[in-house]
């Protein structure tokens, strides 16, 4: 049983696009889903216009947000040191990965390739 799931930006974007399977899975799991502060930032940053930005902000405000703590910050550095030459993942992905590891979440993402080589991560797959 999966207790806590961190949904990354790719999942929020698919929700926004109306992806039926993601919407159905999200509805079933809504009490277990969290987002990272960096995901909230990416979702606001990626808005195309004021209307979409407001919709994104209203949606994010309904989700529990996992803040970037000192432990997450330090672990982000550790992950970048350990994996960045081999994987070439960005700082945002490293913060998400560190959040998942430190907080004990499963990661729900459509960007498996960004995270699959990080051995410490537990990936979530909706059934």
Which residues of the chain have a pLDDT value below 50?
A: none
Strand order in the sheet with 5-7: 65-66, 33-36, 5-7, 106-108
pLDDT for 54 equals: 95
The pLDDT score that the predictor gives to residue 127 is 74
User: Locate tokens 């990661």: which residue?
Assistant: 107
CATH number, domain 5-115? 3.40.50.1010
Check residue 104 and give its pLDDT.
96
């Amino acid at each position: 049983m999966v207790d806590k799931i961190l949904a990354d930006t790719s999942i929020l974007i698919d929700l926004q696009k109306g992806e039926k399977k993601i919407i159905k899975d999200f509805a079933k799991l809504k009490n277990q889903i969290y987002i990272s502060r960096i995901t909230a930032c990416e979702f606001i940053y990626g808005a195309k216009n004021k209307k979409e930005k407001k919709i994104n902000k209203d949606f994010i405000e309904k989700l529990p947000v996992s803040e970037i703590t000192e432990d997450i910050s330090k672990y982000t550095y550790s992950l970048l040191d350990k994996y960045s030459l081999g994987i070439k993942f960005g700082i945002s992905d490293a913060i998400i990965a560190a959040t998942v590891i430190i907080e004990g979440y499963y990661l729900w993402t459509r960007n498996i390739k960004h995270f699959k080589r990080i051995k410490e991560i537990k990936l979530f797959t909706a059934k």
